[in-house]
Amino acid sequence: MNRMKALARSHLFWTKINDDVEKLVRACAACQETAKSPVKNTLCSWSRPDAPWSRIHIDFAGPIEGISYLVVVDAFSKWPEIIPMTTTTSTATLRELRRLFAQFGLPQTIVSDNGTQFTSAEFQDFCRINGIKHVRSPPFHSQSNGQAERFVDTFKRSIGKIRSKGPAVDALHTFIFTYRNTPRTASPDGRSPAEYFIGRRLRSTLDLLKPSHSPEARSDIVMEMQFNRRHGAKPKTFEPKDLVFARDFRSGQPRWSPGHVLRRHGRTLYDVLVQGSIWKRHANQLRPRDSLGETIDLTNAFDMPFNSSPYSPSGTSSTLPLSPMATTAPLTTTTMTTTTTTAPPAPPAVAPRRSTRTRRPPDFLQIDPYAKSYQGRQS
C-alpha cells in the first residue's frame, strides 16, 4: 500500500490522496483475499492451575513407525504421560484416559484440538458424566493448545536422537524418565516436573554418585504386639548349623524335610540346606530338630548288663511259643555274651545333721473380750 501511494504521488496530487488510495485497496476483493496475515492479537494466556492434574492438555503425536502416541501434559507441573497406541479411535483413547484417571484422579478441565477422537459423542458423554470441562482449541490454531503442541515437538525431536541407541520402546522410556526428572528453567524455584507432581525427585543412577544415609527403618511395634497377642506368637531364632525341619511344599513329599541352617537374613529369613539344595524359608516354616544317631544308650550309660533272654539260663537256648496257635513254629532266642564290670564301692552314708535347739509347744492366743491387752508367756 505504501508503494502504491508513492507511485500515485509521483504523477499527480490532490487533497487526501492517501486516504483515497487506502479506500481503493480495502475495496479490492482480490487484494483482500491474498493479503498477508494481520498483526497478532495480544496474548491471552491460560490461568495457572492451583494443584496438579486439575487441567491437562492432550494431543496425538505421530505416527512414528506405524505407532501413534497419546500425549497428556499436566498444566501445573508439566508432568507428561506418553502412551503408545496402534489405533486412535475414540474408544481406544477413552480406555487409556480411564487408566490414567484411575491412577491420578479425574481432572477438572481437558484441553484438546478438534480431532475426531475428541469431538465424538462418546467423548463428550464421558466428560459430561464425570464432571470434566472439555475445552477445544479453534480449528487450525494450535497455539491455543500450545502446552501439548510444544511437548509433541520436543518429543519428536528427542525420540529421533535416542532411537539410534536402541529400540523405540526403550527410547520412549529413557526420554520420559529424563524429562520428568530434569529441573525446569522456567519454574520459579527450578524444580523438576516430578517434584511438582509427586513431591520428590525420581531416584536415578546419578544419585549413586552421592549415596544418602537414610535412617534405620523402625518397626510397627503396635501392630507386632496386636499380632502376637492374637495368634499367641512366640519368638523363634535359629543360628547357622542348627538342625531344623524345613517345610516341604513339593508334591508327593513329606510335609517336613530335615536340614540345617546355613545363614540368616534379617530377623525371619533363613537359607536352609536340604538334600543338597538351598531353600529360603521363613521362621514360621522351620522347626527345631534333634540330631539323628545321637540318642544315648541307657544300658551303656549306666553300665548295665544286657541280656536278651532273661527267661533262660545263661549260655543256653530256650524255645518260647509265640501263641497257642504257633506251637509248631517255636521262637528260639540265644543269650548274648556280655561283659559286666564291677561297680566301685559306694561311699559310706553320712548321717543327717539335726537341730539341737530346745523345742516347746506354741502358745496360742486365748480370746478375752474384756481384756484391754494381751501379754504372751515370758520366756
**Set of cell numbers at residue 18:** 492517501
- Strands, sheet with 269-274, edge to edge from the N-terminal-most edge strand: 277-282, 269-274, 256-265, 243-247, 286-288
Helix (H, G, I), strand (E, B), or coil: what is residue 283? helix
Helix spans in 240-289 (H)? none
Residues 41/144, Cβ–Cβ less than 8 Å: no
Q: Which three cell numbers stand for residue 171?
A: 527410547
Distance CA 292, CA 255 (A): 18
Residue 305 to residue 264: CA distance in whole angstroms: 46
Domains, the chain, with CATH or none? 2-33 (no CATH), 55-198 (3.30.420.10), 232-288 (2.30.30.140)
pLDDT, residue 293, reads 47
Bridge partners, residue 109, by sequence: 55, 133
Residue 287 makes CB contacts below 8 A (sequence gap 6+) with: 244, 245, 256
CA angle 97, 101, 102 (to 5 degrees): 115
Name the residue among 205, 186, 204, 206 with its Cα closest to residue 196. 186
What does the DSSP 8-state code read for residue 114? S
Q: What is residue 229's predicted lDDT score, i.e. its pLDDT? A: 79
Q: Locate 301 and state its grid cell.
A: 550309660
Contact 316/335 with Cβ under 8 angstroms? yes
Separation between Cα atoms, residue 205 and residue 53, nearest integer Å: 28
Unique residue bearing C-alpha cell 549306666:
302
CA distances from 193 to 31, 166, 190 (A): 49, 25, 10
Full pLDDT tens readout for the chain, 379 residues: 777 778 777 877 788 888 888 887 777 777 766 676 676 665 566 678 888 999 999 988 878 878 889 999 998 988 999 999 988 899 999 999 999 999 999 999 999 888 888 989 999 999 999 999 998 887 766 666 767 778 888 888 887 777 766 677 888 888 899 889 988 887 778 888 998 898 888 888 887 888 776 666 666 677 877 877 777 777 788 889 889 999 998 888 888 999 999 999 988 899 999 988 999 999 888 988 887 544 555 555 555 555 544 544 444 444 444 444 444 444 444 444 444 555 566 667 777 777 788 888 888 877 877 777 766 544 4
110 DSSP assignment: E
DSSP string, 142-207: GGGGHHHHHHHHHHHHHHHHHGGGS-HHHHHHHHHHHHHHSPPTTSTT---HHHHHHSSPPP-GGG
